[in-house]
Amino acid sequence: MAQNDLHDIARALVADGKGILAADESDGTIKKRFDTIGIESIEDNRRAYRDMLFTTPGAEEYISGVILFDETIRQSALDGTPFPKLLESKGIIPGIKVDQGARPLALADGETITEGLDGLRGRLEEYYALGARFAKWRATYSITDELPSQYCIWTNAHALARYAALCQEAGIVPIVEPEILQDGTHTIERSYHVACKVLEALYTELFDQRVDVEGTLLKPNMVLSGYDASNRAGVDEVAEWTLKCFYKHVPAAVPGIVFLSGGQSDEDSTAHLNAMNAKGPHPWEISFSYGRALQTPALNAWAGKPDQVEAGQRAFYHRAKLNSAARSGLYAPEMERETASV
């Protein structure tokens, strides 16, 4: 694939008013989600759930791409259409999670390294043939007074860049996801300090490994106070600290920043996104790549019941619409109470 094609796909994923649905939950994560509504995590239920999301009428107004799991990219809708083909038919770009999870980092107590580079070139070729045009790789970092270590920061940056280079070789746009876990009591200043170090290392490695950043997207956490902090930063403060960090360390050539929601509530993740866009314009598009924060209302409304599919779709459509509004700084909390129709 030509370099310009990667640029076009990356830009399409952050098109005006649109963001990405992360539907790439591992078997363990989707089981936890299904446990909350009391249904068994078997393949038929997982397929039915994804079918409900992907066939939502009008979702393409607000959703540019969907990150799939290995099982999901091989599944088909109720009418037999492979999920990647179904998404393409709606103008939604299929993507794929390619990392194989975080594992303990050797000689670094409490820290992790993401695995999955072995055999990745072959897997990317297969995923491209199945319809994937972008991919995602997640690295995780814990915050304490001492962590993350430079060792953890740089080994994960190196792996993220190796993954990104292999993606671009395969004609696939890489989303690089350095997630700094916000569990703990740390201040927003500490979160900012760690985020700066992580992004500095990431872009050093991406440049050193010849990755064309115009054909990539960044999927980071927002700069937040620790979830257990006694005095947590408000919405505007989060936006200010996050933008301050990104202006220092994210090249203007990157087409877009697609935030993860992490452990934030649905409303908080939308409000923070809105506050950042309200302070624009910025050199990059500021968008979303949410999983739980887009899916929770839909999951609860659907509850595994065939006669509740439309209710689930209405909830998903409404949540996507609110985040689309936040992309332009036009979201307001009272919009949460509006009833959307599909």
Averaged pLDDT, 47-62: 98
User: In this model, does residue 342 exceed pLDDT 80?
Assistant: no
- Structure-block tokens of residue 295: 């899916």
The answer, yes or no, to whether residue 341 has pLDDT greater than 70, is no
What pLDDT, on the 0 to 100 scale, is given for residue 338?
77
177 assigned to active site: yes
The mean pLDDT value of the chain amounts to 96
d(Cα 244, Cα 239) in Å, to the nearest integer? 8
Instruction: Give residue 340's pLDDT band: very low, low, confident or very high (50, 70, 90).
Output: very low
Strand 217-218 relative to strand 173-180, pairing: parallel
Catalytic residue among 18, 97, 136, 219: 219
Of 177, 179, 240, 285, catalytic: 177
In this predicted model, what pLDDT tens digit does every residue of 147-182 receive, in sequence order? Answer: 999 999 999 999 999 999 999 999 999 999 999 999
Q: How confident is the model at residue 43 (pLDDT cuts 50, 70, 90)?
A: very high
pLDDT band at 3 (very low <50, low <70, confident <90, very high): confident
Q: What is the DSSP letter of 59?
A: G
Partner residues linked to 287 by β-bridges: 258
Mean pLDDT (whole number) for 33-46: 97
- CB count in 10 Å sphere of residue 341: 9
Q: Which domains does the chain have, with CATH numbers?
A: 3-337 (3.20.20.70)
> What are the phi and psi torsion angles at 142 (to 5°)?
-95, 150
Rounded to an integer, what distance in angstroms lies between the CA atom of residue 286 and that of residue 17?
10
User: Of all residues in the chain, what percent carry a pLDDT higher than 70?
Assistant: 99
The secondary structure element, H or E, covering residue 252 is none
The DSSP annotation for 41-52 comes to --HHHHHHHHHH
pTM value is 0.96
Q: Given a cut of 60, is residue 317 above it in pLDDT? A: yes
pLDDT score recorded for residue 170: 98
pLDDT band, residue 195 (cuts 50/70/90):
very high
Q: Which of 262, 261, 248 is closest to 323 using CA atoms?
A: 261
Q: What is the mean pLDDT of residues 88-111?
A: 98
Half-sphere exposure of 84 (CA within 13 A, CB side): 18
In whole angstroms, give the CA distance from residue 115 to residue 223.
25
pLDDT tens profile 264-315: 999 999 999 999 999 999 999 999 999 999 999 999 999 999 999 999 999 9
Task: Specify which residues 289 forms β-bridges with.
Answer: 20
State the Cα–Cα distance between residues 156 and 145, nearest whole angstrom. Answer: 20
- Residues 211 and 277: their CA atoms lie apart, in Å, by 27
What is the average per-residue pLDDT within 103-122? 98
Residue environment code for 186-221, b if the CB has 16+ CB neighbours within 10 A, otherwise e: bbbebbbebbbbbbebbbebbeebebbbebbbbbbb
The verdict on whether omega for the bond into residue 297 sits within 30 degrees of 0, i.e. cis, is no
Q: Within 13 Å and on the Cβ side, how many CA atoms surround 306?
A: 2
Which two three-digit tokens encode residue 8?
A: 């076009």
